[in-house]
Amino acid sequence: MKLERKTAIYVFLFALGSAWIAFDLLVWGYGESPRHVASTLFEGTWGTAYGIGQVFYKATPLLFTGAAIDLALRGGLFNIGAEGQVAIASFAVGAIGAILPPSISSFVAVPLLILVAIVAAALWGTIPAILRGRFGAHEVISTIMMNRIASLLIGLLLGYGIALPGTVRTGEIVEAGKIARLGAIVPAFHGSAVSFALFIALAFAIVIPWAMRHTRVGREIVLVGQNRLACVAEKIPVARRFEQAIIVSAAVCGLAACATVMGYKGYYEEGLGAGVGFGGIAVALLGRGSAVGLIASAILFGTLQQGGLAINAYVPMEMIDVLQGVVIVAVSFSNIRVREALIASLARKRSAA
């Protein structure tokens, strides 16, 4: 456990350092001062209450997808389909929320729409789950395929009457189905998009790592990810655990609709939430299975996404996507190197003793 914790800390620091170097080089490449641009980024995020609220809003869907992808990674699976799962869940929430009766109570509407998000995303994840569990198809290929199908299917359904005339969005969901914004009770956050969906995301980020360690199914998913052949010998249902990991991961991804549709827009529009699926990969890799790590990583990337808007006058905001890619590559590269170095260091200490 101590080795794992040290590895996580060093990998996190290495990834941050790599991102900072890449940030400096990119800003220099555009002829700007890294110090000035970094200062502007900070002022546009943590420099004001509104900026902080926006950081928390950006971090909320990333925390859902990061926790979901982390769950799959623990089972030795790579859920690249978070983007499509979020889109399908968000579309379902927007479409069904728009036809609920206006008289419905919020005590019914909010849980109902959350359930819609979970079920829609889980059903979408069932297809690659079955392909992986029963036919051995690689989940990376099947989930990427499902991303594209989700995009085309949503566009088709919006065009065939679900969208409002002349738009690419659903109707407004019922007022009772919206999740209140934090600005309603914290005046400093007034105007920002952060909502109580943040606390749902925090709860899942804490519960999922706990459940993977303290429940039978969770432990077996982790064991399957570590050594599938040994689990077969121990009569653990490997195929079923693969399927369960992908389906539950997809369901958690779907909860991102709580922040985007229910907590912010109040309806679904084409492209809403785009990027949170791939951003969740960076959060999961950097978070490394720790609740604290996932939350810190989501806040980091939420800061970068909001900061991208603040520095857009100096450098393209797409630079943030490049930094996310740098973090992913840095984590992938440093993980094995750091572990090997720590193991070698411990071996030397023991031999010296």
- Residue 2: which pLDDT band, with cuts at 50, 70 and 90? low
Using the predicted structure, report yes or no on whether residue 291 has a pLDDT greater than 60: yes
pLDDT tens digits, one per residue of 58-116: 999 999 999 999 999 999 999 999 999 999 999 999 999 999 999 999 999 999 999 99
pLDDT tens digits, one per residue of 14-62: 888 888 899 999 999 989 999 999 999 999 999 999 999 999 999 999 9
> What is the C-alpha to C-alpha distance for residues 234 and 228, in angstroms, rounded to an integer?
10
First to last CA, the chain: 21
pLDDT tens digits, one per residue of 115-168: 999 999 999 999 999 999 999 999 999 999 999 999 999 999 999 889 999 899
Neighbour count for residue 142 (Cβ, 10 Å): 19
pLDDT tens digits, one per residue of 299-336: 999 999 999 988 988 888 888 888 888 888 887 776 66
**What are residue 195's DSSP bridge partners?**
181
In a domain, 301, yes or no: no
Contact between residue 272 and residue 261 where contact means Cβ atoms under 8 Å apart? yes
pLDDT tens digits, one per residue of 194-240: 999 999 999 999 999 999 999 999 999 999 998 999 999 989 999 99
Residue 184 is given by DSSP the state G
In a domain, 105, yes or no: yes
Q: Which residue is listed with tokens 């419905």?
A: 104
In a domain, 271, yes or no: yes
Question: How many residues does the structure list for the chain?
Answer: 353
Alpha carbon of residue 60 to chain centroid: 8
In a domain, 352, yes or no: no
DSSP string for residues in 160-178:
IIISPTTSSB-PPPPGGGS
Nearest residue to 89 via CA among 261, 270, 254: 254
Nearest residue to 8 via CA among 284, 288, 283, 297: 288
**What are residue 269's DSSP bridge partners?**
169
In a domain, 204, yes or no: yes
Instruction: Name the 3-class secondary structure at 269.
Output: strand
Residue 181 is given by DSSP the state B
Taking each helix axis from N to C end, the angle separating 49-74 and 276-287, rounded to the nearest 10 degrees, works out to: 70
In a domain, 260, yes or no: yes
- Domain, as residue range, for 99: 64-281
Q: Which residue is listed with tokens 């959060």?
A: 283
pLDDT reported for residue 164: 93
In a domain, 169, yes or no: yes
Nearest residue to 258 via CA among 185, 186, 196: 196
pTM for this predicted structure: 0.90
What's the number of domains the chain is made of?
Answer: 1
In a domain, 55, yes or no: no
Alpha helices in 30-138 (DSSP H): 34-43, 49-74, 82-97, 106-135
> What is the C-alpha to C-alpha distance for residues 237 and 217, in angstroms, rounded to an integer?
10
Tokens of 238: 């490997």
> What is the C-alpha to C-alpha distance for residues 117 and 250, in angstroms, rounded to an integer?
10
From residue 274, how far is each of 85, 166, 268, 298 by CA, in Å?
A: 11, 21, 12, 16
Nearest residue to 178 via CA among 262, 250, 85: 262
Tokens of 142: 């099947």
> What is the C-alpha to C-alpha distance for residues 189 and 242, in angstroms, rounded to an integer?
41
